[in-house]
Structure 1
Amino acid sequence: MQSIQQMIETVLNDDQPVVLAMVFQVKGSAYRKEGTWMLIQEDGARTGVISGGCLESDLHSRAIELFNTGKVDIVHYDLSAEDDLGWGRGAGCNGVVSVVVRDIDNDFRHFLTLMHKRLLAKKHVLFIQSISNLAYYAYLNEDEDCLDSWQGEIPFELDAVTPFQNNAEQKSMGDEMVYFQLIWPRPALYIIGAGVDARPLARLAENVGYAVHLLDWRASLCNEFNFPMAVSFQIGNVERLINNIEFSSLDSVVIMTHDFQLDVKLVQRLRDSQLLYLGILGSKKRTERLLDRDIPNEVHSPVGLSIGAEGPEEIAVSIVAELIAVRRRKVI
């Protein structure tokens, strides 16, 4: 599942006609919620999903009619109908999904280009789309700079937001209905230690949208052959390497070096970094020895959700599940 940032990169790296389908309202239950994006390209490629498969074919048919037109439209799907004339087909979703379908023309590509620069700088943006007049859209960043085709004032402040929360909703502004969506940079996962057990973790994390970065002192392990999905490799003295990284509150780190003395030094450095997630491979007793104290709430050890995982693949599942839960603020 690709992040919105990755979808924007797909558009910017390929000049073929492409249509954006974006869920802006859900009434009742549905497979995906407000803020879901999907791309449909002229060659038939699709990125992302709007539903479990019942809407994509119809959206593809609509996209064919929109390519190279610069047009934008709204489609409503009633998933509660049980007969063949509805979209539910007995699936039991029992919701109405409203989708903006837009041909991405040159103006919108330029708009996405500037938004993408903010995301690369690890800055979130507020995407704004008028539902009453689909020609009007804008984005607002934390400096309250606004790039837009908008008419009039945007009465919204971008502050005090919770990292990685979707916060997609429709609001009334006078006589106009407006859709707001917070868009976050692609989440970053730094894996320290490029052993065999790190490979399924990197692979699974990339599959759910993380930008995976590897750090290790062994070039024979930390390389593209073992981690073809990674976006960067840093090889050398790991203590020095992490000192050169500007971690943010959007970043996650998993320590899996299997080196106790090195882990002591890494934890001392990373605990002051205000990370979104810090996980340490190993037992609770080992981590308490690392910290020389009880494990604080901000440190996840044993790393991963407690699902009885055994072996590298199952442990990777538990770690990625915990990463998602923390990002979605679902950890109890």
Structure 2
Amino acid sequence: MAARETMTVNEARLLVTGSSGRIGSAICDAAGKRYRTIGLDITPGHHTTHVTDLLRLNELPGMPVDAVIHAAGLHAPHVGLASDSQFTALNVLATERLAKAAKASGVPEFVFTSTTALYGVQVSTGQPARWIDETSEPCPRTIYHRTKLEAEIRLRRLAAPGFRVTIIRLGRCFPEPADQMIIHRICRGVDERDAANAHLAALGRTGGLCETVIVSGDTPFTKSDCVGLREDAETVIALRRPDIVTIFNLREWKLPRTIDRVYDNAHAKRLLRWAPRYGDRSILEELATGSSRVLPGSMPG
């Protein structure tokens, strides 16, 4: 970030919204002693220093602030529970207001947690799996997707010299049964710790005034696998990762017959100089320790 030339890293002040949530708290954990972290959330939490409703926020807490990571918002589980107007107010209007406040206050870096869900993948029968990168066309299907996409659009308009914006379209990242998580991790999922490190890697990045990156785990698949993944995913998995087949057989888990999408994280790796560390192999280790990140396997054998 711009202030790095005049201060040591652990003197830099980082504002994280959603600091009591899953991703926000992981970002605060990852920030550690490298930053003085100011946590903002409507719900109290270990990392939350300011219990505040973003909809009522008039100024940035903890000023002066050297960077903002905005992870707060309504998410997919809130669809049907929160109204469309609530989604718009928090995900769009509050995001825009926060960014404007940061820009007006001279904050040079703004990182926004968006979602890969806005691609709204629906693959027609007979069509190959979709290979998704930053050039893929979004196809939002719910108010969650639409408001995240609208927030991205407004942030791009605000980006300017002295106010650099990074939009992180985050892959699937929540606790689920181990067998499902392993399959998702090799095509469209990401560990929350890798997600957190990607957000921090966006601070001080190279590139344009506004950059959009897909943050997901590494995949063993290639574009040439897309037809096979749609028609016979088991065979493609056996070709690319036979060890996964062995593990699934030993545990009597069922491999998926089809995979409809693969997320490409190559741009994020280049731009952010970041790489995921917690791939599918880490899931079994966490399952053995009873980690809350991983639930027992559920697919019938």
TM-score (norm 2): 0.29
Rg comparison, structure with higher value: 1
User: Which structure dedicates a bigger proportion of its chain to strand?
Assistant: 1
